[in-house]
């Protein structure tokens, strides 16, 4: 049986931007340096690496559409919840209820970054950026 021709994948695109965010604790607000990144090979997600106390960064992966929605209205599921704050910032609650961290960030800066990812990989074209060959090889196809 002849295999259909394989459409070549678009070249991978990776963008990263440094951002300062704040960890909100009951008694203190602590500055946290972060790196927000996007890789077109994982087209639905963006990663936020939190650099805390010189340790290896703590990395959270967020759905890019959820970030845009959360900048306008409260949204979230499982361990990730986002909501706009009255002061124009965005609050991210990361982790299970009772054991979570609340992060405050510049809503417009993060939303702008996410909108830029849609310029790289428009909504509805994400599937064209996955490399399915390793999975297909594993399945014997």
Backbone angles phi, psi at 138, to 5 degrees: -60, -35
Tell how many helices (H) and how many strands (E) occur in the chain.
3, 8
Place domain 14-138 in its CATH homologous superfamily: Sporulation-specific cell division protein SsgB (2.30.31.20)
pLDDT computed for residue 52 by the predictor: 84
pLDDT of 84 > 80? The answer is yes
84: helix, strand or coil: strand
Q: What is the pTM of this model?
A: 0.83
The model's pLDDT over 116-133, given as tens digits with 9 standing for 90+, comes to 999 998 887 777 766 667
The domain locations on the chain are: 14-138
Q: Which spans in 1-141 are helix H?
A: 64-70, 107-120, 133-138
The model's pLDDT over 8-34, given as tens digits with 9 standing for 90+, comes to 777 888 999 999 999 998 899 999 999
């Amino acid at each position: 049986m002849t295999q259909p021709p394989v459409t070549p994948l678009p070249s991978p695109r990776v963008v990263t931007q440094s951002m300062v965010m704040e960890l909100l604790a009951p008694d203190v607000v602590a500055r946290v340096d972060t790196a927000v990144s996007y890789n077109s090979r994982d087209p639905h997600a963006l990663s936020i690496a939190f650099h805390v106390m010189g340790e290896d960064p703590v990395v959270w992966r967020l759905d890019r559409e959820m970030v845009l929605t959360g900048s306008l209205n409260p949204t979230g599921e499982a361990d990730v919840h986002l909501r706009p704050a009255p002061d124009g910032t965005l609050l991210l609650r990361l982790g299970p209820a009772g054991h979570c961290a609340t992060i405050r960030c510049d809503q417009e800066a993060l939303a702008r970054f996410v909108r830029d990812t849609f310029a790289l990989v428009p909504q509805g074209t994400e599937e064209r950026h996955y490399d399915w060959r390793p999975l297909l090889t594993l399945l014997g196809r």
